[in-house]
Amino acid sequence: MDPDVMEIDPPPLASASASRTRKPRKVNLEVIDVEQYHVDKMNKGKAIQDGNNPSSHVSNGVMPIDVDSYTVVLNDIPTGVKVVMSTTQPCGFQNYSSKGTSKSSRNSSNPFLATPSSVPQSLDFASLSASFAQNNQTVSSSAVQPVDSDASASSSSAEPVPSSQANFLRDFKRFDTVEDFSDHHYLSKGKASKQHSKTWLKKVQADWKILENDLPETIFVRACESRMDLLRAVIIGAEGTPYHDGLFFFDIQFPDSYPSAPPKVHYHSGGLRINPNLYNCGKVCLSLLGTWTGNKREKWLPQESTMLQLLVSIQALILNQKPYFNEPGYEPTKGTVSGEAHSKVYSENVFILSLKTMVYSMRKPPKHFEEFVHSHYFVRALDIVKACNAYKDGAPVGSILKGGVQGIEETSQSGSKKFRTDVAAFMKTVVGEFVKLGIKELEEKPKPPPVVNANTESNTANRKRSRSSR
């Protein structure tokens, strides 16, 4: 492991245990023919953004939200997902399916913001969007302030992103197939010649279709042609969280008993523990996976649960705004002075580890995502550096918004002195990796030679002549 990469201790009370585009091969069985599916790039589903949700170990796409304490933020989600919201009971995103997904419900890119009192108790996402649109609130421009950048990031006047990287990201399919996964964590756990049951094949191909049609804009998946049991997914960290702008990779395998048993998931940790649910050994702790306790509805349901559900749960419920409270032992302290103080310190450490994860990914990108990783960080490098500079100046972690940083006076408190120091110390490493990608705005400018005054030269020459004449 890179000497710059260090691990922080987990919470003391922890109790929770550029690929080639190819068409998938046609499977000559009486199941879904993947070749018939078409990716509609213009009508992708949008991500569920719930950075305020501190709940943890949630599965089956059921995402409880304390609606009495939190504002619910949702993007436009494919229909067919039922939402049950109540001021006395948690709400859940259930029954994710590819059926009934309307183009109109996926074309909007604006998030809807609503308070609990305005949320109907049961409705699908199409009516939810209409209801939320009536209560749509946007961040006031007065709450967004420009960020001053220092010498290491004279990026506030950055040139437009070169079209090659931007175009690559634009054209990079959210779901596609690849020939092989020679570096996959579960490569040795099966064979290409393995004969699977018709039920297994039908379910896996159904998952492929759902992923192809409904993946959010911040999740990308590659499936293996020669090993249909293998997937690789990358999730982009959401703004407003200590994971913002980062890339988080997961290797997935459909076991022989799928869908009776849930998929197996391994996180590319780089040896770092960035979340109570994500271990440095790669284990992902989630009820949906059977790696954490939960009630019947929170566990994997063979007739209902999907791979899309799993990925969205990881994005919205694990990589959230306050990961400290993902640990069940700490959840009761949410809202207390002590609990929030510990949460702040934990999130600050998480951001430092997220920066180290960025470096780890740039130096060793997973197969079939090499160009994606480099293009992603090329495009976002200047924003990441601007965010780091804001943190050095006292902005609290996770206060980053689109177009700037939320004013410190509008947040609970500024970042700690240790956090500012740690960010400043590691920025040199991060900026160095960005420069290797070709971000010329971040290159150190050579210091100009000292200006020599003519009178100074004359006086120096006179002193030398005076000393020689003695």
The string of pLDDT tens digits covering residues 170-209 is 999 999 999 999 999 999 998 888 899 999 999 999 999 9
Cα–Cα dist 352/60, whole Å:
30
Q: Report if residue 337 sits inside a domain.
A: yes
Please report which confidence band the pLDDT of residue 443 belongs to, taking 50, 70 and 90 as the band edges.
confident
Question: What pLDDT sits at residue 163?
Answer: 64
Q: What separation in angstroms does the CA of 83 have from each of 32, 161, 437?
A: 28, 39, 43
Please report which confidence band the pLDDT of residue 114 belongs to, taking 50, 70 and 90 as the band edges.
very low
Q: Report if residue 103 sits inside a domain.
A: no
Q: Report if residue 450 sits inside a domain.
A: no
Beta strands 219-224 and 230-236, pairing class: antiparallel
pTM above threshold 0.75:
no
Question: What pLDDT sits at residue 179?
Answer: 92
The overall average pLDDT reported for the chain is 73
Q: Report if residue 42 sits inside a domain.
A: no
CATH code of residue 413:
3.10.110.10
Domain ranges, residue 386: 164-442
Question: Cis link prior to 111 (omega < 30° from 0)?
Answer: no
For the chain, the domain total comes to 1
Q: Report if residue 5 sits inside a domain.
A: no
Cα–Cα dist 232/234, whole Å:
7
Q: Report if residue 86 sits inside a domain.
A: no
Q: Report if residue 342 sits inside a domain.
A: yes
Q: Please indicate whether residue 224 is annotated as part of the active site.
A: no
Question: What pLDDT sits at residue 112?
Answer: 29
Highest mean pLDDT among 122-131, 285-294, 440-449: 285-294
Q: Report if residue 135 sits inside a domain.
A: no
Q: What percent of the chain has pLDDT over 70?
A: 58
Please report which confidence band the pLDDT of residue 272 belongs to, taking 50, 70 and 90 as the band edges.
very high
Cα–Cα dist 276/28, whole Å:
43
- Residue 326 or 107, more confident: 326
| Active-site residue, selected from the candidate residues 91, 224, 285, 388 | 285
